[in-house]
Amino acid sequence: MTRRDVIHKWTVYALGLLPVWVLDAYILPRWPLFGTIPMLLPLAAAAVAVLEGAYAGTGFGMAVGLLWELAYPGGFGGQVFFLALAGMAMGAVAQYALNQSFVGCLICAAGVLAMLDFLRVAQILFINAASLSDALRVAVPEFLWSLVWTPLVWLLFQAIYRRVGGTRLA
C-alpha cells in the first residue's frame, strides 16, 4: 500500500469514529437509560483492533484514547496508554485466538469494558470514595448498557473495513 492509500484508509476510519464520538459525547448523555450513559469509544477501539489486527489496533486505540482525553472533561492521560495497550491485546487475541467476527468483537469489547470498569471501581475503592456495592451499582449497568451498542459500532466499522480495510486499497 502506498502512503496515500494508508492515509485514505485511516481518514475513512477517522470519519467512522466521528458519529460514534458525537453519539457518545453529545447525544446519549442527554437521555441516559435508568441514569446510565454507555461508553462507545472503547467499542470503536475493539472493533478496529479485531478487524485490523494488533499493530493497527494499537495505533487506533492510541488515537481513540487521545480523543477521549482531549475532548472530554477530566482525565489525566491514562486512557491513551490504556487503549493503545488494549488495542494491541484485542488485535492479538482476535488474530490468534478468536476470529474477525462479531462474536470476536463482542468478547473483546466485553474485555475492554470490564477492564475499564474494574479500574474505575478499584480507583473508587482505593480513595475510599464509596463502598464496593455502590461502585458496582454504577459499573455493572454501564458495562451492560455499553455492550448493547456493540452491534451498531461493529456494523459501522465492518462496513468501512469492507471498503478500505486490510490491504484492499493496495
Partner 1 sequence: MKDFLRQNGILLLVIALLLTILLGATSAFLGGEADPLSNVVNVLISPVRGGVSAAADWAEGVYTYVFRYGELEQELDSLRARVGELEEQVRQNEEAGRENDQLRELLNLQARRRDFTFEDARVTGRSTSNWASTLTLSKGTSSGIDPGDCVVTETGVLVGVVAEAGTNWSTVSTIINTDTQMGGIVNRTYSAGVLEGDFSLMNQGKLKLNYLPEGAQLVSGDEVLTSGRGEVFPSGLVVGRVEGVFTDPSGQTRYAVVEPAVNLDVLIKVFVIKEFEIIE
Piece in contact with partner 1 (CB under 8 A), picked from 6-14, 103-111, 122-130, 156-164: 122-130
88 binds partner 1, rule: CB under 8 A: yes
Restricted to residues 98-117, the positions that interact with partner 1 (CB under 8 A) are none
Piece in contact with partner 1 (CB under 8 A), picked from 97-105, 134-142, 150-158, 160-168: 134-142
Backbone angles phi, psi at 166, to 5 degrees: 55, -130
The single-letter code of the amino acid at 97 is A
Could you tell me which of 116, 109, 107, 115 has the C-alpha nearest to residue 153?
A: 109
| Nearest residue to 169 via CA among 52, 44, 23 | 52
| Residue 132 binds partner 1 (CB under 8 A) | no
Q: Is 120 in the site for partner 1 (CB under 8 A)?
A: yes
Which of 37, 110, 147, 152 forms a contact with partner 1 (CB under 8 A)?
Answer: 37
- When asked if residue 91 is in the footprint of partner 1 (CB under 8 A), the reply is yes
